[in-house]
Amino acid sequence: MNYVYLLQSELNNEIYIGSTTDLRRRIIEHNKGRSTATKRYIPWKLVYYEAFMTETMARKREHNLKYNGNAIRELKKRLGFGHPSSGKKTSGAKEGLPSTTSRKPSGAGFTLIELLVVIAIIGMLSSVVLASLNGARSKARDARRIADLQQIRTALELYYSAHNTYPAAGVVCNVGQNAYGDVWCRDTTDNTGATPIQNWIPGLEEVMPSMPHNPKPYSSVGPWPYHYYSPDANRYFLFTALENTTQKPACGGGVIYYWFGDTNSNTCTWWGAGLYAINVY
C-alpha cells in the first residue's frame, strides 16, 4: 500500500506533505531528524493520510497537493485548518506546502468530486456516441442488403429475357454445398455463414459473374444469408433479414410479403419482423 500524508509541526504548526510505502516508519524518521525538509520543526504529528493501490497514484496525489493551490485549500478546509470556528488561525500554517524545489503553486486543480463528475459525464457521452455509431453501421449494412437484392433482381430479369425462364431452384440447389440438402439456394454452405459460394444461384453467373453475400453480423432474427427459391420458370422468392426490424421495407415496418401472391400465406409470420423480400409471381 502507498500513502500520502500530512504532518503538523508541534513547534510552530508548520504543515508538511509527503508520500511513502511505510507510514509508521516514515513518521519515526521525520521525528528523528532524518529528513532535511522537516528536521528543523521537530516534533511532528500525523494529522491526515490517504491510501493508494499504486505508487504512481500516490505520487500524483502528492504532487497535486503540493503544487495546486485549490487542492490543498480544499483539504485544509475539510481538516479545519484556519477555519473561523476553530477560534484562531494556526500561526505557522501556510497556503502552500514546503518543497525541496523552487516550483510555485499554480492555483489550478480539481477536487475529487469534480473529477468523478467529469468522468461520469465523459462515460455517458461515450455511450451515446457508441450507440449512435453502432446504429449508423447497422443501417449501412441494411442499405447494402437492399441494394444487393435489387442488383440480383436486375440480373434475374436479364436472365429471364435471354432464356424465358428464371434460374431453377426447384431441386437440390448447389449439390454438396447446402448443408440442409433442400431446394433453397443460399449464399453460404449453411446458416452459420461459413464458406461463401461464389455463384450460389445456378446459371446466373452469365449475367452476374460476382454474386453478393450478406454482410456480417447478420440480423438477430435470422441469422440469414441471402436466399433464393424458384418453383417454376416464371416465379421466384428472393429474401433476407434486416437488422432494423421496425422500419420499411422490413415486415416490422408494416410491409407484408405474401408467398407468391397468396394472401392467406403471410411470410412475415414465418420469418419474423426483419424479413425483406422480392417476390415475383
φ, ψ of residue 40 to 5 degrees: the values are: -75, -20
pLDDT for 29 beyond 60: yes
Structural domains in the chain, sorted by start: 2-109 (3.40.1440), 144-280 (no CATH)
Beta-sheet strands, E only, within the chain: 2-9, 15-20, 44-52, 185-186, 227-232, 235-241, 258-259, 262-266, 275-280
Contact 207, 162 (CB under 8 A): yes
User: Which range is least confidently modeled, 112-126, 176-190, 237-251?
Assistant: 176-190
User: Which range is least confidently modeled, 10-24, 70-84, 85-99, 134-148?
Assistant: 85-99
pLDDT for 222 beyond 90: no
| Segment 53-62 mean pLDDT | 92
The structure's pTM equals 0.54
Buried b (16+ CB within 10 A) or exposed e, 27-63: beebbeeebeebeebeebeeebebebeeeeebeebbe
Nearest to 30 by CA among 18, 21, 38, 41: 38
- More confident call, 212 vs 185: 212
Question: What is the chain's mean pLDDT, rounded?
Answer: 82
Q: How remote is the C-alpha of 245 from its chain's centroid?
A: 22
Q: What is the DSSP letter of 77?
A: H
**For the segment 70-127, what is each residue's pLDDT rounded down to a tens digit?**
888 888 888 887 544 343 444 444 444 443 333 444 444 567 787 888 888 888 888 8
Task: Measure the CA–CA gap between 235 and 237, rounded to whole angstroms.
Answer: 7
